[in-house]
Amino acid sequence: MIVVTGATGRLGRRTVETLLARGVRADGIAVAVRTPERAADLARQGVQVREGDYDRPDTLPAAFADADKLLLVSANAHDDTLRIAQHRNAIAAAHAAGVGHLAYTSIVDADTNPLALATVHKATEEAVRASGLPFTLLRNGWYFENYTAGIPAAVERGGIVGTAADGRVAAASIADYAEAAAVVLTGTGHEGKAYELTGDASWTLADLAAEIARQSGTDVTYTDVPAGQLAEILAGAGLPQGLVPLLVDAEVHTRGGALGRVTDDLRTLIGRPSATLAEAVAAALKN
């Protein structure tokens, strides 16, 4: 049995879809979700839907029962202490349930990455290692979707604003990261490994603006602003208060190369090149 947590979120759901597309029987997949009603469509396909809430540890042993493989998708709370506690709850429950192999979605270079987000992942990786469970660390880089969701607005206003300067980002798509997870969940020989998953090429926010302009036929430019000003812009756009400092911190550290390293781990796992910046922009403009 393969159990996937966070299956009503972007990465978890796409992983389930990828497992099904790769021929895994629906009755061999279970999803552990906080709100089972939100996974009703998966249930209709024959996937087992189980209630599993990181904040309610008593729900987790049953959610993880009979799991030969478990994908632990990181929680999305903006409080580091809370997220670490949630992850430790899940790891303890996985150990108690006798999970055969745990794969955790971490962040690229988790043990050395200066991003504030990396604090949670480093602590979680330590808990995974200490659990004694066979494990794989899927150290995902940045998502294309972190940027492409804002492309329609960028075209409308003619620009992108950020504070990353000429820092580079080796992003990949959610689909690519989900496929890598599916490969690990259905394959062998991945125990004890930490995969640094990045796109095949890195690019700057100016490159992103230029690609949007090229494909849209609209003048789109990149404007670099101080970190404080970016925080005000993001808050004014209605982003959650806890998310704003994390996004600004990521852009500040992008300047120093925190998200720019390119590896071949992702393309090796999925057996093909990762999605390109041009493909990501085209997909966003099509929607």
**CATH code for the domain in which residue 38 is found:** 3.40.50.720
Element (H, E) at 180: helix 174-186
59, part of any domain: yes
The residues, ordered by sequence, that sit 6+ positions from 126 with a Cβ below 8 Å of its Cβ are: none
Q: Tell me the per-residue pLDDT of 208-228, one tens digit each, with 9 for 90 and over.
A: 999 999 999 999 999 999 999
**pLDDT category of residue 242 using cuts at 50, 70 and 90:** confident
Q: In what order do the strands lie in the sheet with 48-51?
A: 48-51, 29-33, 2-5, 69-72, 102-107, 135-140, 193-197
- Please tell me the distance from the alpha carbon of residue 164 to that of residue 176, in angstroms, as a whole number: 24
168, 174, 177: which is closest to 259 by C-alpha? 168
For the residues 75-93, what does the mean pLDDT come to?
A: 92
Range of the domain at 37: 2-141+172-197+261-270
146, part of any domain: no
159, part of any domain: no
187, part of any domain: yes
211, 131, 213, 128: which is closest to 169 by C-alpha? 211
Give the pair of three-digit tokens for residue 24: 């895994």
234, part of any domain: no
Q: Tell me the per-residue pLDDT of 164-223, one tens digit each, with 9 for 90 and over.
A: 999 999 999 999 999 999 999 999 999 999 999 999 999 999 999 999 999 999 999 999
- Please tell me the distance from the alpha carbon of residue 134 to that of residue 117, in angstroms, as a whole number: 24
50, part of any domain: yes
Predicted pLDDT at 241: 81
12, part of any domain: yes
**pLDDT category of residue 240 using cuts at 50, 70 and 90:** confident
Q: How many domains does the chain have?
A: 1
Task: Count CB neighbours of 258 within 10 A.
Answer: 27
Give residue 240's Cα distance to chain centre.
18
For the residues 131-136, what does the mean pLDDT come to?
A: 98
Kindly report the pTM of this predicted structure: 0.96
197, 201, 174, 196: which is closest to 278 by C-alpha? 201
- Please tell me the distance from the alpha carbon of residue 48 to that of residue 45, in angstroms, as a whole number: 9
State the chain's mean pLDDT as an integer.
96
Classify the phi-psi angles of 217: left when phi > 0, otherwise alpha if psi is within -120 to 50, otherwise beta. Answer: left
Predicted pLDDT at 78: 76
72, part of any domain: yes
